[in-house]
Amino acid sequence: MVARWIISGRSQVGGKLILPDLAIFGTLRPADLTSSAHLPGPRMLPLPRASYVTGWLLLLAVTGCHIIPPTRNAETFEILQNPLHVPPCPPEFVWDQLIDVLDDYFRIGQENRVKRVGNILTEGRVDTVPQSGSTYFEPWRKDSTPGFERLHATLQSVRRRAVARVTPTAGGYLIDIAVYKELEDVDRPEQSTVGSATLRNDGTIIRQEDRSQFGAATLGWIPQGRDVSLEQRILSDLRARLTQAHPTQPPPHH
């Protein structure tokens, strides 16, 4: 249809067939459109540069990332064992380092130190206070690892708590770090168009007559499993402190 429309508008001057300067795909030079009087077939018009760009974009969309070679020198991360083995050192030093590391991420709620009962060292435990996950607007907080965890805490109401156990062994200590992640369960979405007086019919009615402000009521917290990425970060900090640093021993008294 395109070639037929262009040929119908031709003009013959001096035995040559001159096509119009204006074509459907844009303005072309007359020198490119001048040909002999006998045409073997319909003329092929040159496509503009935008058509080539569109073709490359379609090719990339079909092939995806398969045409891009993988990076050989990709950064690898070491996965630490949990519980982490710590070489023998004074129990007070191990406990102080553990509290100092956990305090960088959470607020300490309760701690039971490692105690010596006769010739036996008891197991120690630390429980932190549950706290809301840090968002992208709080870069100074470290309880949400970069990437998905920080994005999830920005878009949803997420909280975390940590439990640390120190188990003395014959060859040192085993430090177990467990970070539990929970998602807030509310009675209705925040900023929703549903009236706050509308009652739900899919569960038990929860009455909160002493509420001082309007908004979604927290029904509970839904367990989301463990945050392995944050556990690995805490274990990495502990290993750097307990394997590279050595406690200073007081000089012996003569």
pLDDT at 131 over 70: yes
Provide the pLDDT for residue 252: 45
Burial 22-51 (b: 16+ CB within 10 A, else e): ebeeeeeeeeebeeeeeeeeeeebeeeeee
140: which DSSP letter?
A: T
222: which DSSP letter?
A: E
pLDDT at 19 over 70: no
- Give the Cα separation of 19 and 10 in Å (integer): 5
The model's pLDDT over 136-176, given as tens digits with 9 standing for 90+, comes to 998 899 999 999 999 999 998 899 999 999 999 988 999 99
Bond before 83 cis per omega within 30 degrees: yes
Spell out the domain ranges in the chain.
2-67, 84-192+218-244
CATH number of 84-192+218-244: 3.30.530
pLDDT at 51 over 60: yes
User: Residue 158 in contact with residue 184, Cβ under 8 Å?
Assistant: yes
Residues paired with residue 184 on neighbouring β-strands, in sequence order: 221
The model's pLDDT over 187-229, given as tens digits with 9 standing for 90+, comes to 777 666 655 555 555 655 555 555 555 567 788 899 999 999 9
Provide the pLDDT for residue 111: 92
Provide the pLDDT for residue 191: 63
User: Residue 61 in contact with residue 73, Cβ under 8 Å?
Assistant: no
